[in-house]
Structure formats: structure tokens, C-alpha cells
Amino acid sequence: MQNTQIIVGKDTIYKTQQVLVNDSLVLNYMQLQKSAFAIPLTKLNLKESTPITIKIIQSF
């Protein structure tokens, strides 16, 4: 996923703060300090046909 950013002076600030899958934190702010990221669904050991909800928390 593309991570929206803004440039403030010489700093790049990324908007995405957290990614949650089924209300469990999957990616935190430190892991999201880049222009794009992937949500590692295969590492979550979800059973086939398990419904998922992805929440992307952004600032600004």
C-alpha cells in the first residue's frame, strides 16, 4: 500500500500510524516509516474463510 507523506523542511512525515487486522496491531509507527508497505496477512495464521477487518490509522 502507498503511504501518504508530507515534507516539512527537510523531514518526511508519513501519515499512516498503525495497521490493525481484526483489532490486533500488525504494523506500528516505526514499521511504517516508508513510502509503501505490505500488510503481512500470511504471517497471521488465519484460517481459510476467516473474515478479516483491516483498519489503517492515519494522522493529519
Residue 60 pLDDT more than 80?
Answer: no
List, in order, residues 6 or more apart from 39 with CB less than 8 Å away. 1, 19, 21, 26, 27, 54
What global pTM score does this model have? 0.85
Each residue of 18-45: pLDDT tens digit?
999 999 999 999 999 999 999 999 889 8
- Cα separation, 43 vs 14, whole angstroms: 24
List, in order, residues 6 or more apart from 2 with CB less than 8 Å away. 35, 36
Domain boundaries, the chain: 1-35+52-60
- Cα separation, 50 vs 32, whole angstroms: 26
